[in-house]
Chain A
Amino acid sequence: MTKYKIGRLGIHAALLVGVLVSFFPFYWMVVMATNTTQDIYRYPPKLTFGSHLGDNISRLLDNIDFFGSMLNTAFVAVTVTVMVLFVDSLAAFTFAKYRFPGRNVLFGLVLAMYMLPTQLAILPQFIIVSDLGLAGTLRALLIPPLANAFGIFWMRQYVIGAVPDELIEAAKIDGAGFFRTYWQIALPAIRPGLAFLGIYTFVAAWNDYIWPLIVLVDPEHITLQLALAQLNTAHGTDFSMVMAGALLAIVPLLLIFVLFARNFIADATKGAVRE
């Protein structure tokens, strides 16, 4: 009995070490963001929170339009999420539950692209966006996520499991057409799956870096990640200000994630386990 208990404690101890490793950057970031740059340079380093968060943030806001870029990012992330959820769930539902000529070939194409590295297409994507006149606009950020095969792939798995054929048969008997079936039967049934894909897409859009780096230009239309990187390039020596910026950039997502965490984690694994 005691061996059992010690084993448990040992496991908890080991896991807690891991949790500390996970959390330490956040803690240390707060330390750096609440002190002055001189404090950071000091040896031995100051380990506690300071009181300079306000100063650092005000310098931050002087140097870049932080909240403007956050607003841009939020706009892009929300719009992308809504669009992806709609487009992907519709397509996935169709692939999962309906047979039509060429279905397997078309889906095979999607599967093949799923395996390809996403960066392979970046140059032509940039050229297309330029030709469409969208370079430098936030709208350019809305397109690549729509072309992402992951959502289709994962959602199809989910639909297969979550929407029983009987339900669709029943809807057909009731006289519902294809789109009615999707809207009224399938969507409610896959709500948890939508929640997962929504969060996943939102987080990916919020944190995206290379594509905005390539297409966005003027300071009024950049995203948060870009603003943060530019802040570092221009004022990299002011560590406490940069860390304040990094902290503010992370916090919204952390909050959202902690709120929806359980759903997200449970559903994340469903796609993997079914591989």
Chain B
Amino acid sequence: MELSRRRLLQASLLAAAGGITAACGDDSSKKKSSGPQDIALWYWGGGLSDKVVADAVTQFAAQATIKPSVVGGDFKQKLTTTLAAGRSVPDITGIKGEDIAALLPQAKQFVDLNTLGADKLAAQFLPWKWKQGSTQDGKLIGFPIDIGPTALFYREDLFAKAGLPSKPEDVSAQLSTWDAYFAAGVKLKAALPKSFLVATVSSIFGVAVGQNTVRFIDSGNKFVGDQDHIRKAWDTALKPFTLGIDAKINDNSWNAAVGNGAVAAEVGAAWHALDISQAAPDTKGKWRVAAGPGGPANIGGSFLAIPKASANPELAFQIISWLLSPDNQARGFTDAALFPSSPAAYKLPALTAPDAFFGDQVTIDVFGPAAEKIPIAYEAPGDAAVAVPYYNELVKVEGGKDAEKGWADAVSQAKQIAQKQGVS
């Protein structure tokens, strides 16, 4: 009968759907007592060198079946979603530099790496970076991957054309203060009207804030975003705007601008080199690196952590220490522009090799000293949220808003957000 055939079909469709539903989507690692343990490693695109990760898979094949996942989209949101769910939690996870401060209060979600022997390795890493990954009571949550020492990336050909110093040593020496830097920008604009020194004031603000030893909230949990040091960073950031050397690029046209010379320089972290080379591969050889004006700061740089839910923390830590040995950190630099957090790596050939994108300059000569001089600043968990109004207001000022009003609005908003975060 037609009806019962159709009924059978519908019933089987439902059963199939139910069956697939039950069978699919479950990725919990099987726990075996002997043989290779499953180790899930999560990182974002460019967070680790894919080649180093691949080598780790073979290196540890006997003890571990490492399953790397490159998680796209909003990594922190995915991580916290998974931690909250408590299922399919990775054994090793990356944590981005901008997120570590907010995750440190959740320290009980992670294993204190010092209990796994991390403290013996502390001396190999830059102290301020080690501190950044630790809670205030000394637990190490994040194992350093890379750091983001800032420097000045500039178009050597455009600088030369404008009559500015163009050799890295000269630039480092002569453009060592923000004022000198901006004065050069004025000269650049006069000679090359289509070229701007600064892409957006937001980039300057980030660096200027980072050059201090205190950020928006001090270590006593008090809001200090209205104090002189932030005000100075604000004023510094707005100077290129008032001088007319700001390209005001706040949308996706940055890539094109870098490619066609509309943006002649960038003050950014070491990993920013990757952004530039990907945005404008045709400008290879035309860029150089010099010491950033006002001194170095740190932007970015990430960590690896082991969530508490991991079944094999000791094994996970072994893998982490292998992934982040000085040699592999050097490889990370070559493959993914991850600037090592371990000074021992700075002397390795990968780091001391000339960089073709920068016209065969040996960039470690700039970044190495910069990394050592980075000021240590306390970063409160709410720091990122509190900083947001400043950036928003800066863009509004670029769009024509009155600068004083922008400052006042930024500070009052930041204060409110800080209060919501529980800051006094």
| Contacts from A to B (Cβ < 8 Å) | 41, 64, 75, 78-79, 82-83, 86, 126, 129-130, 133-139, 142, 183-184, 213-215, 217-222, 226-227, 229-231, 233-234, 236-237
Nearest first, the 7 A-B pairs at minimum CB distance are A230-B72, A135-B85, A137-B25, A130-B85, A217-B78, A138-B25, A79-B17
Q: Are B20 and A218 in contact (CB under 8 A)?
A: no
Task: Chain A residues near B78: list those with CB within 8 A.
Answer: 217-218
Q: Are B69 and A218 in contact (CB under 8 A)?
A: yes
Task: Chain A residues near B278: list those with CB within 8 A.
Answer: 237
Chosen A-B contacts, 21 in total, with CB atoms closer than 8 Å, are A75-B24, A79-B17, A82-B13, A82-B14, A82-B17, A86-B14, A130-B81, A133-B85, A133-B86, A133-B87, A135-B84, A135-B87, A136-B82, A136-B88, A138-B24, A217-B78, A217-B81, A218-B27, A218-B42, A230-B72, A237-B255
Q: Does any Cβ of A come within 8 Å of B262's Cβ? A: no
Task: Chain B residues near A227: list those with CB within 8 A.
Answer: 72
Q: Are B84 and A64 in contact (CB under 8 A)?
A: no
Chain B positions 46-105 with a Cβ under 8 Å from a chain A Cβ: 69-73, 77-78, 81-82, 84-88
Q: Does any Cβ of A come within 8 Å of B242's Cβ? A: no
Q: Are A234 and B81 in contact (CB under 8 A)?
A: no
- Alpha-carbon separation in the docked complex, A214 to B77 (Å): 8
- Alpha-carbon separation in the docked complex, A92 to B71 (Å): 41
Q: Are B72 and A233 in contact (CB under 8 A)?
A: yes
Task: Chain B residues near A215: list those with CB within 8 A.
Answer: 81
Given contacts A41-B256, A82-B13, A139-B25, 15 further A-B contacts (CB under 8 A): A78-B17, A82-B14, A133-B86, A136-B81, A136-B82, A137-B24, A137-B27, A183-B7, A214-B77, A214-B81, A218-B88, A227-B72, A229-B73, A233-B73, A237-B255
Q: Are B73 and A213 in contact (CB under 8 A)?
A: yes
* Nearest A-chain residue to B44, judged by Cβ: A234
Q: Are B85 and A234 in contact (CB under 8 A)?
A: no
Query: Which residue of the partner chain, among A83, A183, A233, A236, contacts B17 with CB atoms under 8 Å?
Result: A83
Task: Chain A residues near B14: list those with CB within 8 A.
Answer: 82, 86
Q: Are B73 and A230 in contact (CB under 8 A)?
A: yes
Q: Does any Cβ of A come within 8 Å of B21's Cβ? A: yes
Q: Does any Cβ of A come within 8 Å of B3's Cβ? A: yes
Q: Does any Cβ of A come within 8 Å of B362's Cβ? A: no
Q: Are B72 and A136 in contact (CB under 8 A)?
A: no
Task: Chain A residues near B42: list those with CB within 8 A.
Answer: 218
- Alpha-carbon separation in the docked complex, A116 to B77 (Å): 27
* Nearest B-chain residue to A133, judged by Cβ: B87
- Alpha-carbon separation in the docked complex, A184 to B78 (Å): 46
Q: Are A217 and B82 in contact (CB under 8 A)?
A: yes
* Nearest B-chain residue to A229, judged by Cβ: B73
Task: Chain B residues near A218: list those with CB within 8 A.
Answer: 27, 42, 69, 71, 78, 88
Task: Chain A residues near B82: list those with CB within 8 A.
Answer: 135-136, 217
* Nearest B-chain residue to A236, judged by Cβ: B252
- Alpha-carbon separation in the docked complex, A142 to B20 (Å): 12
Q: Does any Cβ of A come within 8 Å of B45's Cβ? A: yes
Task: Chain B residues near A183: list those with CB within 8 A.
Answer: 7
Task: Chain B residues near A78: list those with CB within 8 A.
Answer: 17
Task: Chain B residues near A138: list those with CB within 8 A.
Answer: 24-25
- Alpha-carbon separation in the docked complex, A237 to B259 (Å): 12
**Shortest Cβ gap from A202 to chain B (Å):** 13
Task: Chain B residues near A83: list those with CB within 8 A.
Answer: 17
Q: Are A79 and B81 in contact (CB under 8 A)?
A: no
Query: Which residue of the partner chain, among B24, B77, B85, contacts A139 with CB atoms under 8 Å?
Result: B24
**Shortest Cβ gap from B346 to chain A (Å):** 29
* Nearest A-chain residue to B255, judged by Cβ: A237
Task: Chain A residues near B87: list those with CB within 8 A.
Answer: 133, 135-136
Interface string of B304-347 (1 = CB under 8 A from A): 00000000000000000000000000000000000000000000
Q: Are A184 and B3 in contact (CB under 8 A)?
A: yes
**Shortest Cβ gap from B173 to chain A (Å):** 35
Q: Does any Cβ of A come within 8 Å of B137's Cβ? A: no
**Shortest Cβ gap from B84 to chain A (Å):** 5
- Alpha-carbon separation in the docked complex, A229 to B77 (Å): 15
**Shortest Cβ gap from A151 to chain B (Å):** 17
Task: Chain B residues near A139: list those with CB within 8 A.
Answer: 21, 24-25
Chain A CB within 10 A, most for which of B17, B25, B42: B25
- Alpha-carbon separation in the docked complex, A136 to B82 (Å): 7
* Nearest B-chain residue to A188, judged by Cβ: B3
Q: Does any Cβ of A come within 8 Å of B26's Cβ? A: yes
- Alpha-carbon separation in the docked complex, A59 to B82 (Å): 30
- Alpha-carbon separation in the docked complex, A26 to B226 (Å): 51
- Alpha-carbon separation in the docked complex, A221 to B28 (Å): 13
- Alpha-carbon separation in the docked complex, A111 to B221 (Å): 49
- Alpha-carbon separation in the docked complex, A139 to B25 (Å): 7
Q: Does any Cβ of A come within 8 Å of B376's Cβ? A: no
Query: Which residue of the partner chain, among B45, B69, B84, contacts A234 with CB atoms under 8 Å?
Result: B45
Q: Are B86 and A217 in contact (CB under 8 A)?
A: no
- Alpha-carbon separation in the docked complex, A142 to B278 (Å): 39
- Alpha-carbon separation in the docked complex, A215 to B69 (Å): 17
